[in-house]
Amino acid sequence: MSHSIAIARETLLDAPGLSEGQLAQVMDRLLSRQVDAADIYFQYGRLESWVLEDGIVKEGSHSIEQGAGLRAISGEKTGFAYTDSLELSRLLDAAGAARAIAQVGQHGARAVATHAAAPALYAPINPLDSLSEEQKLDLMRRADAEARAADPRVQEVIVSLVAAHDTILVMDHSGQISGDVRPLVRMSVQVIVEHDGRREQGSSGGGARQALDFFLADDRAMAYAREAVRQALVNLDAVAAPAGMLPVVLGPGWPGVLLHEAVGHGLEGDFNRKGTSAFSGRIGEQVASPLCTVVDDGTLPGRRGSLSVDDEGTPSGNNVLIEKGILKGYMQDKLNAHLMGVAPTGNGRRESYAHLPMPRMTNTYMLPGAHDPGEIIASVEHGIYAVNFGGGQVDITSGKFVFSANEAYLIEKGKVTHPVKGATLIGNGPEVMTQISMVGDDLALDTGVGTCGKEGQSVPVGVGQPTLKIDQLTVGGTAA
């Protein structure tokens, strides 16, 4: 039994006084109809956040999120109920409500408690107390000072620091118990600059499944401050972005949000099982240029999108989605994997005990290619070089997706020239992926800030890619 499971058992079973026998009793109740699968998910979550503004730490907040979610599955039907109390009577009530989805009858087997362990990808620490309050506030104040010192045009600085500590335990219908202790920290710096009456904003940040001293290492916090200022100042000089189809070069790292939107969501198992994705039924087909190999990898140690086990107890995988342009597989949770006759891939995730799990991404990125990034830019006569993005969105059925650049430049005659204002880029996922004509050798992952929303549920994710060139993509600027 790994250390994480021991902590999860202690926190979620021993502390509220639940015995293994009582847990089996709740599972028996869930299984007392014709249920194919069931699980009980326990969560103990603590989160602390601080905000600095106007040079002072103004606000701090502490959150408790705790409870249990119970699910019963019969064929394609799911019954779900949850409770914020871990008392046996409330768990039994929730089990009774969840199992009502299934016909009267009996599940074949009884749950026998066993334990599953997966290699831990992060230490089972509590990041909330990984620095003292004084150290947390000092870190934020130093980032504020760094941003203000970087340029006299800086008017406002907002620094936020968040530490989250989630402990989860999940028991499935066979009785297998998995657990995980998930630290997550995030810091961000946002600035407003002003010059000659024009104002602009810039922001930067990062995070990881680590302790808060992550931000002290390698000068990270100060680098976020300087980066936010740099970005805002670039935008002060930006001219209108072009409108129309152009070659687009995307920088390494966070621009990988392209992959998250253009292919990631469309390869989630639920949409493909239902046949509602533009990628449905296309395994084995060419869906991207042969230069593209895209993976979803939840096994990267300490990354924001990583999980030792997913929220159904399946160990995370490094799953190849697209290999040299050929569609290899979808991302699956247990329900959709079972219904599609494939193995779960460790992508069953949920926002909390009060949400149903579904197939979700972890860290989605493209493997490096052979080109020098400079050579890629030099190959463009007239186009856009986009290095920073806000969010994106996709219509998985039509395949149309957008992502919004907030730092971009013109490329003129093979050289990066003037900064242009933020603009939305729009394309069709399967089409755009075939337009990728050069892939750089400079794979980078994002700094650990991504949050993905799906059906109202938010989960932390990562993205990454090398520099890459898309021959034609619609750029939504205003300049003719």
Partner 1 sequence: MSHPERIAALTQAVEDLLREARQQGADAAEAAVSAQTGLSVTVRLGETETIEHTSDNGLGITVYFGHRKGSANTTDLRPAAIRESVAAACRIARHTSEDPAAGLADPDLLASDVPDLDLYHPWTLDADQAADIARDCEDAARAADPRIGNSEGATLYTQGSSFVYGNSNGFVGGYPSSRHSLSCAVIAQQGEEMQRDYWYDSSRLPAELAEPAAIGRRAAERTLARLGARRLGTRECPVLFRADVAPSLLRSLFGAIRGHAVYRKSTFLLDRVGTQVFPDWVQISEDPLRPRGQASAPFDNEGVTTRQRDLVSDGVLQGYLLDSYAARKLGLCSTGNAGGVRNARIADSGQSFEALLREMGRGLVVTELMGQGTNPVTGDYSRGAAGFWVEDGEIRYPVEEITVAGNLKDMYRQLLAVGTDNDVPGSIDSGSWLIENMTVAGD
CB nearer to partner 1: give 49 or 176. Answer: 49
Q: Using CB under 8 A, which residues numbered 403 to 442 contact partner 1?
A: 403-404, 406, 421-424, 426-428
Nearest CA to 32 among 92, 85, 78, 84?
92
Residue nearer to partner 1 on the CB measure, 50 or 224: 50
Strand 436-439 and strand 468-476: the pairing is antiparallel
Site string for partner 1, 172-201 (x = CB under 8 A): --------------------x-x----xxx
138 near partner 1, judged by CB under 8 A: no
Q: Between 19 and 276, whose beta carbon lies closer to partner 1?
A: 276
Return the range that interacts with partner 1 (CB under 8 A); candidates 19-27, 90-98, 341-349, 363-371. 90-98
Q: Name, in order, each residue with C-beta under 8 angstroms of 146's C-beta and a sequence gap of 6 or more.
A: 221, 222, 225, 226
83 binds partner 1 (CB under 8 A): yes
In the complex, the smallest distance separating the C-beta of residue 393 from partner 1, rounded to whole angstroms, is 5
Asked if 478 interacts with partner 1 (CB under 8 A), we say yes
- The reply to whether 34 sits near partner 1 by the rule CB under 8 A is no
Least separation in angstroms between residue 293's CB and partner 1 is 26
CB of 101 to partner 1, least distance (A): 5
- Please name the amino acid found at residue 302: G
Residue 64 sits in the site that holds partner 1 (CB under 8 A):
yes
Q: Is 62 in the site for partner 1 (CB under 8 A)?
A: yes
Is 129 a residue that touches partner 1 (CB under 8 A)?
no
The gap between the terminal CA atoms of the chain, to the nearest Å, is 63
Q: Using CB under 8 A, count the residues that bind partner 1.
A: 78
Nearer to partner 1, 56 or 217 (CB): 56
Q: Is 474 in the site for partner 1 (CB under 8 A)?
A: yes
Specify the residue, 16 or 302, whose C-beta has the smaller distance to partner 1. Answer: 16
Other Cβ atoms within 10 Å of 341 Cβ, number? 6
Closer Cβ to partner 1, 122 or 215, answer by number: 215
103 alpha-carbon distance from chain centroid: 37
393 is a contact residue toward partner 1 (CB under 8 A): yes
Looking at the Cβ atoms of 61 and 106, the one nearer to partner 1 is 61
Residues paired with 394 in a beta bridge: 401
Contact status, residue 353 vs residue 452, Cβ threshold 8 Å: no
185, two tokens: 């920290």
Give the residues across from 323 on adjacent strands: 326
**Interaction of residue 387 with partner 1, rule CB under 8 A:** no
| Cα–Cα dist 412/407, whole Å | 17
Residue 341, C-beta contacts closer than 8 angstroms, at least 6 positions apart: none
User: Residue 299, SS3?
Assistant: coil
Say how far residue 189 (Cα) sits from the centre of its chain: 20
Beta bridge partners of 335: none
| Residue of 276, 417, 451, 458 that binds partner 1 (CB under 8 A) | 276
> How many angstroms separate the CA atoms of 383 and 239, rounded?
14
- The least CB distance from residue 249 to partner 1, in Å, is 18
Using CB under 8 A, pick the residue from 39, 48, 296, 446 that binds partner 1: 48
Distance CA 229, CA 148 (A): 9
At which residue do the structure tokens 């050069």 appear? 438
Q: Which is nearer to partner 1, 376 or 473 (CB)?
A: 473
Q: How far is the CB of 60 from partner 1 (least distance, A)?
A: 4
H or E segment to which residue 179 belongs: strand 176-195
**273 in Cβ contact with 267 (< 8 Å):** no
Assess 216 for contact with partner 1 (CB under 8 A).
Answer: no
Which residue in 120, 145, 243, 283 binds partner 1 (CB under 8 A)? 243
Separation between Cα atoms, residue 338 and residue 172, nearest integer Å:
14
Nearer to partner 1 among residue 175 and residue 476 (C-beta) = 476
